[in-house]
Structure 1
Amino acid sequence: MFRAASLLLAGAMLAGAVRAGDTQACDKPLYLTFDTGHMGVAPLVAEVLQRQGVKATFFLAHEKTLDGGGSLDNRWAPWWKARAAEGHAFGSHTYDHVYWLADRAGGFRMRPSAGPHAGRAADWGTAQYCEEIQRSAARFHDMTGAEMGAVFRAPGGKTSQALLDAAAQCGWQHVPWSPAGFLGDELPSERFSNAKLLERALRDIRRGDILLAHLGIWSRQDPWAPAVLEPLIEGLKARGFCFVTLRDHPSYRAAMARPAPR
């Protein structure tokens, strides 16, 4: 029994050393993140990430999909469960993809782009906004049995200090993206070709950048992910970069370690 225990302890120490070595070896980290969208490229994204051995962070909203459903409906639940099992990380993108428009006395002017009130602006209080962020966390848990981290990304990245303070009061930390990390998959393809977006990203991305892409964009005619995602990952790896989730980001590590409020 003593020998078996010793072997188990040695194995655990070795595994810890390997993990520590991996962390130390990753001295040029990048944080690849995906927001939901119409989900048309979601299977491709999952395939590329698995083939490249890359872990990403996904921000979830219940957006309209190409098949007329929603990105968090039962059809997509197995997809999300598989990504959770693979070790990716997750945060909220609000449930109905709700945009901040302006601050109001005691609250905010908001407009969902999905759900039953899509396109209609309304005044919300702090409690309503917090509930909206939490809805994605609850749905994620229902689909996967896993917990999100206590992080969120406002649709469009649109926020105010008052909005960030309100979210923080109910336990959520906002995650923007780096300027060079805006990968351009939502820009018009007639003005921003995939080749130009790839060239720009490989030229401008720097250590520690948070990168942003989507699981499907309605407005772009020439989809970004099939042409750019894998060459981008390979090109950045060739420059010595490595990919980790926001669980390893110094600014978000603590929030990612907390189960999301739901």
Structure 2
Amino acid sequence: MKRHAFRNAIGGAALLAAGTAHAACSGTIYLTFDTGSQSQAELIAATLKRHHIKATFFLANEKTVRGDYSLDPSWADYWKARVAEGHAFGTHTFDHVYYEKDAPDGRIQVKPQFGAHAGQREVWTPEQYCTELKRVDERFEQLTGRRLDPLWRAPGGRTSARTLAAGNSCGYRHAGWAPAGFSGDELSSASHPNALLLKRALDGLRDGDIFMAHMGIWSRRDPWAPANLEPLIAGLEKKGFCFATLREHPAYSPYMKQR
């Protein structure tokens, strides 16, 4: 089970996003979704489309409830449709690779969750880490004909100055989430019921916050998205919030011209 910590918050109020902001907006929220079991992939897409919302997706090649993987050719039509809708996309490392610690020789200790070396500790150079980020970009272009945006997100939100520098060196800026933007969808539904998670998000989210959820979590018995995504969006809209992709976020928009 993936465990995301309350970390990597992006501070400061955001400028209203171009193309989505208007006089009625009291602020902008940036919805982001990481791949997972993909059990909620279609629901998430349909909900965003119904509300005319553009979000940002972070992709890894994770095992899905279909028995395939989220970056297999079988998912090409799904990702092509999201590209056509105008969403943004970043790399989440190809094999959903967890950072563990910096090695004393300048390398990085990691543990992939999927792929040929799943569950094995490995020590990579920064260049190897960069290559892992690029693998998603290359596969996404093969599937959709489009490259990713210059964004990445570490599995579990676990980073170090060394991994951030590795990402920067190959053109990807790391995107975390605000403390109030942690959906909690991978926590136990017994101790963190959906109603509690929804209230926490609606009470805590502020202008410029990045919100993070998954496209399905294997371990959660009461899935987050079917119960919470629609009321979260409706509640934020009622408060006057608009939505935008990270392309419009002031922390990342300066880097978009690189692609």
* Structure 2 residue aligned with 1:53: 52
Distance 2:248 2:31 in 1: 12
Indicate how the Cα distance of structure 1 residues 109 and 225 shifts in structure 2: closer, same or farther if over 3 A, else same. same
What residue is the counterpart of 1:140 in the other structure?
Answer: 140
The aligned residue for residue 159 of structure 1 is 159
Q: Distance in 2 between matches of 1:67 and 1:249?
A: 34
Counterpart position of 1:121: 121
1:86-137, Cα deviation, whole Å (9 max, x unpaired): 0000000010000100001221000001111111111000111000000001
Match of 2:216 in 1: 216
- What TM-score results when the alignment is normalised by the length of structure 2? 0.90
Q: What corresponds to 1:23 in structure 2?
A: 21
Matched, 1:79 2:78: yes
Go from structure 1 to structure 2 and tell me whether the alpha carbon gap of 1:102 and 1:21 turns closer, same or farther (over 3 Å shift).
closer
Query: In structure 2, the residue corresponding to 1:118 is in which secondary structure?
Result: coil
Larger radius of gyration: 1
- Normalization by structure 1: what TM-score? 0.89
How do 1:243-254 residues align onto structure 2 when only pairs under 5 Å count?
A: 243-254=243-254
Deviation at 1:226, TM superposition (A): 0.3
| Paired residues of 2:20 and 2:242 also in contact (CA < 8 A) | no
CA distance in 2, matches of 1:145, 1:65: 23
CA shift for structure 1 position 171: 1.6
Worse-superposed segment, 24-33 or 184-193: 24-33
- Equivalent positions of 1:1-262 (< 5 A) are 22-25=20-23, 26-104=25-103, 105-259=105-259
Deviations 1:123-176 (A, max 9, x none): 000111000000001111111111211110000000011111122122221111
Q: Residue type of the partner of 1:107?
A: R
Q: Is the 8 A contact 2:20 2:243 kept in 1?
A: no
Structure 1 gap segments, 5+ residues each: 1-18
Figure out how many residues of one structure are paired with residues of the other and give that number.
241
What is the alpha-carbon root mean square deviation over aligned residues? 1.4
1:235 to partner: Cα distance: 0.4
Q: Which amino acid aligns with 2:149?
A: G
Preserved contact between residue 151 and residue 256 of structure 1 (Cα < 8 Å) = no
> Contact conserved, 1:151 with 1:255, CA < 8 A, in 2?
no
C-alpha deviations, 1:232-261, integer Å up to 9, x for none?
Answer: 0000000011110001100101223322xx
- Calculate percent identity across the aligned residue pairs: 54
- Counterpart CA distance in 2 for 1:246 and 1:37 is 20
| Distance in 1 (alpha carbons) for counterparts of 2:18 and 2:70 | 36
SS at match of 1:248: coil
- Does the Cα contact within 8 Å between 1:97 and 1:112 map onto a contact in 2? yes
SS of 1:111 mapped into structure 2: strand
Structure 2 residue identity aligned to 1:23: A
Q: Which has the higher contact order (CA 8 A, sep 6+)?
A: 2
Corresponding residue number in structure 2 for 1:16: none
Quick check: which one's helix share is greater? 1
Q: What secondary structure sits across from 2:99 in the alignment? A: strand
Unaligned runs of 5+ in 2: 1-16
1:110–1:121 contact (8 Å) kept in structure 2: yes
Tell me, in whole angstroms, the C-alpha distance in 2 between the residues paired with 1:23 and 1:180.
22
Give CA-to-partner distance per residue, 1:34-93, whole Å, 9 cap, x none. Answer: 000010100000010001111100000000111221001011110000000000000000
Question: Any runs of at least 4 consecutive aligned residues in structure 1 with deviations exceeding 6 A, and if so which?
Answer: none
Q: For the residues of structure 2 that align with 1:230 and 1:120, how far apart are their CA atoms?
A: 38
Check conservation: 1:246, 1:256, Cα contact below 8 A: no
Determine if contact 1:148/1:256 at 8 Å carries over to the other structure.
no
Give 2:36's aligned amino acid.
G
